Structure 1
């Protein structure tokens, strides 16, 4: 049974309800199947489908592994897309009976029509999968307790940076990234396109955001103790995370080389920062009182009179992109910012851009429990003081670990780190204003505090 001419309407109704669909704010004008590959025959059957979704002038491609069954078990009813001639059509990522084929074909380095399955080393294929509910822009399949296969739902022609950088880091012997076991690709617009990648499943790992949040809760529960006196103090872990980040940056430089950003390029980047600030001020009036200080920081960055070293970086670095395992910190998800084009995500950048992203994440970890005052109770001014104290302690520890492990010292490059962090905070202001207005005070408060504070890490030296 071919789906190409009959799936369009079903997909168009189903897509807006999917967490990973990026066009929820616009009407779908057209859906068409551009690639269909039968991977499993019979009942159940599995078809790998790439669809094109047109919304106005924009056309995006998505991959949907489509399952087909005459009778749909109750356990799969939530994944149903619709029916064609009394055949149930559903999202097959939730069917372990079908998803084993990804593992099997990867192990065999097989080709299936336009799909290429490749592996590194030997894979155990006698494993069922479980679709992780954790991600939004992608879908991950966990095979036993050994592997995790990330399916990139929204497709862009070219090698995905997550696969590209993971291959380079594994080749460089990095001890802070999961092992890479394989990938799936196809040709899209005449270019190789990454569909999925299989890596080591960190079964003993704990998400950095979760660990930081636990530390903050411990602090708020102790009315009379400072951040360094609470049993859940996170600063030592932050210092180790800073060191791990510096080591990964060093491995990225070894694997992909370094470049130089000329002074004119720095000026152009500062101009982009100013433009984003102007746009944000027009949308969020609460930002206007800080515009002068932000512009001063961007101008100081523009006036740097020496070229800057640039290299490949993580690109979307925060506490949710790292995991603490038995052997140390591991860095994940090198895909870059999803909203940016593939070309933009592959561009070299100054490594302090990643550092700035993590520093902003510490501010969010410290303050997100205070949103609407629902998660914790107490004097608001005292809680805000404690949040600031926790954030500064951990920001300084991270910078200290990063610098002592050989990274660019943030305290010695105030103009750079301040510009990157302000630029990230401006982005956050826009995001929160549009999506979570009750969170807007977090980046605004950070901007106010940063305007009056010394460079990150300087207090610890």
Structure 2
């Protein structure tokens, strides 16, 4: 069974959008663990698969369904078929898409079950309705989320790193502190990996009536682009500035709550100089890979030089780490922040490390620029709309920063120097990313070096 399954998985994994090693051959694949959650037909097993590509070893988790007959509704997630133990030939498929099996995850968390190496937990003083049926969201890149009815959303972390995921740590910490800016946590699933408790999934309240920040911002940009020439952004339908202000205030409140719930510290001028040297090396590598950045390298270099001249310590704390308009939801009451796991491809220690909250601010400022400009990519009237893009971005960036200050966020004096360096560092990263993945979007991050 396992030999045949190895072959099936090696071919299937590389086609999944959450597989991190696209474009590289799999040198070796092993099944680190196989836990039967449900026996019979259909059956459900949990797999942790280890993939080696060159010098990189990555673990992935998979819920595998087993059936003697495969319904048409599951054909699109078929992995293959193989002889399964003494049960004969079985179809093997991605069971995250099988609502008749994923109820087992709800039942496990509701009851606090332990199944083999898997431990199911629920947050104290919560009740989980295990009758809800699931539906997979299809927009995600690095994880898989299951929405159960209109109550819960369960995020499966496809790529696994030994240790407690920052999202579980931060969301439960903020919820315990009474934060209104996180979706209520209900439960999680974990296992042991390399001797450490390791988060496999986290379940939170599903914000069924909320709108995501990216979509709301794009609606505002479209309204501005469609408005009569010369009409100010504040008079065009769907002006976003008031929401940007509220988002800034909510961001400052989350940063304050993180500082209260988790350790804080400072970095000294010597640490800042080391950070600056790292930023310069990344800039040099980016210029070597994307020559178009070379014409703007002096702008970033000057910002990094100013950062290196700081002579006082900088406060650091737990932060979001991957903050942008796609990570926030507007409910009827306020803004809610999602996805505190940081950048999934980074080591866990780096994602949990203390950092300046201005890194999150810089990420959101870059997101406003993206919202304003990405509709101009391949747009026949891009040149004539450039001024409107600048106007929308400047207006909403300013509103966000005003809200952040209103909410108690610190941006004063030399903080502006650090914020500028962090924003341009983010733009350097974006230049490389767009060059590799979306060349038509390359003008968006390049504009960061010329527009202000």
**Partner residue of 1:457?**
none
Equivalent residues of 2:59, 2:160 under 8 A apart: yes
**TM-superposition CA deviations, 1:50-76 (whole Å, max 9, x none):** 110111111111000000000000000
1:293 CA drift (Å): 2.1
**Partner residue of 1:238?**
244
**Partner residue of 1:112?**
115
Q: In 2, Cα distance between the equivalents of 1:68 and 1:413?
A: 56
**SS at structure 2 position matched to 1:6:** helix
**Partner residue of 1:459?**
none
* 2:107 maps to 1:101: no
Equivalent residues of 2:263, 2:317 under 8 A apart: yes
Equivalent residues of 2:188, 2:203 under 8 A apart: yes
**Partner residue of 2:184?**
179
* 2:310 maps to 1:307: no
**SS at structure 1 position matched to 2:4:** coil
Q: In 2, Cα distance between the equivalents of 1:447 and 1:160?
A: 35
**TM-superposition CA deviations, 1:436-457 (whole Å, max 9, x none):** 11111111112111xxx3xxxx
Going from structure 1 to structure 2, the CA distance change for 1:396 and 1:411 (only over 3 Å counts) comes to farther
* 2:217 maps to 1:219: no
Q: Which runs of 5+ in 1 are unaligned?
A: 454-461
The within-5 A match list for 1:151-166 is 151-166=156-171
Equivalent residues of 2:310, 2:414 under 8 A apart: no
Normalised TM-score (structure 1):
0.95
Equivalent residues of 2:330, 2:336 under 8 A apart: yes
Equivalent residues of 2:163, 2:199 under 8 A apart: yes
**Partner residue of 2:363?**
357
The within-5 A match list for 1:397-436 is 397-409=399-411, 413-436=415-438
* 2:196 maps to 1:191: yes
1:410 CA drift (Å): 5.9
**SS at structure 1 position matched to 2:13:** helix
Q: In 2, Cα distance between the equivalents of 1:352 and 1:411?
A: 13
Normalised TM-score (structure 2):
0.97
Structure 1 segments, 4+ long, off by >3 Å, are: 3-6
Match of 1:137 among 129, 136, 142: 142
Going from structure 1 to structure 2, the CA distance change for 1:369 and 1:411 (only over 3 Å counts) comes to farther
Going from structure 1 to structure 2, the CA distance change for 1:429 and 1:156 (only over 3 Å counts) comes to same
**Root mean square deviation of aligned Cα:** 1.1
**Partner residue of 1:256?**
262
Q: In 2, Cα distance between the equivalents of 1:369 and 1:290?
A: 23
1:192 CA drift (Å): 1.1
Match of 1:209 among 214, 220, 226: 214
**Partner residue of 1:29?**
27
Equivalent residues of 1:433, 1:440 under 8 A apart: yes
**SS at structure 1 position matched to 2:322:** coil
Q: In 1, Cα distance between the equivalents of 2:238 and 2:102?
A: 40
Equivalent residues of 1:399, 1:410 under 8 A apart: no
* 2:419 maps to 1:445: no
Of 151-160 and 256-265, more deviation after overlay is shown by 256-265
Q: In 1, Cα distance between the equivalents of 2:339 and 2:147?
A: 15
Equivalent residues of 2:320, 2:341 under 8 A apart: yes
Q: In 2, Cα distance between the equivalents of 1:419 and 1:150?
A: 33
**SS at structure 2 position matched to 1:38:** strand
**Partner residue of 1:90?**
93
Q: In 2, Cα distance between the equivalents of 1:146 and 1:319?
A: 23
Q: In 2, Cα distance between the equivalents of 1:395 and 1:207?
A: 18
Q: In 1, Cα distance between the equivalents of 2:414 and 2:241?
A: 21
